[in-house]
Amino acid sequence: MTHPDASAPTDRLFLALWPDTRLRGALARHADDWRWPRSARRVRTEKLHLTLHFIGEVVRSRTAALIDALAVPCAPFQLALGRPANWAHGLAVLEIVRPPAALADLHGALGEALQRAGLAVERRAFRPHVTLARQAAGALPPAQGPELAWAVRGYALVVSDPGAGGGYRVLAHYPAQGAGG
């Protein structure tokens, strides 16, 4: 995103489904069962998530307004994670088994909210997944993929902190309607 003052501080943002601690642990245990090449860079357990939309660099002074602009209605739904795959460019992922219509609906509604806020939406097709590792060409998943149940109860706006030790910070959590918090 372009802005008039190139020196203004920015946040690198994305929208994601953010797993709870239990699911994140199950994902990490599944990743432990893969055979990884030496080059593999596994995603740290606390960073495991499913990206809905990558937003990119946004002038920090706009972030507070975006928190409100990205609130869209969301119903609770279920996902089943369980199809291990090696994607191009060395990505090892766990794909969604039978993606529900509710996931596509949420992705679409968030894309519309991003456009209303004046932000670009990626043009490539949405391929829902959890990235387990990068630089992992040749990784071998276990013979049996898990089928991990994910009770989606909302989504999050997340900032990616820069630097080698950087992590992710949830800036806003948007609970699903009727999700009980």
CA distances from 68 to 17, 18, 59, 79, 135 (A): 17, 18, 16, 26, 36
Q: What's phi and psi for 157, nearest 5 deg?
A: -100, 125
129 carries an active-site annotation: yes
Catalytic residue among 3, 49, 53, 107: 49
Catalytic residue among 30, 107, 129, 173: 129
d(CA 168, CA 51): 12
53 carries an active-site annotation: no
d(CA 131, CA 93): 4
Q: Which residues are catalytic?
A: 49, 129
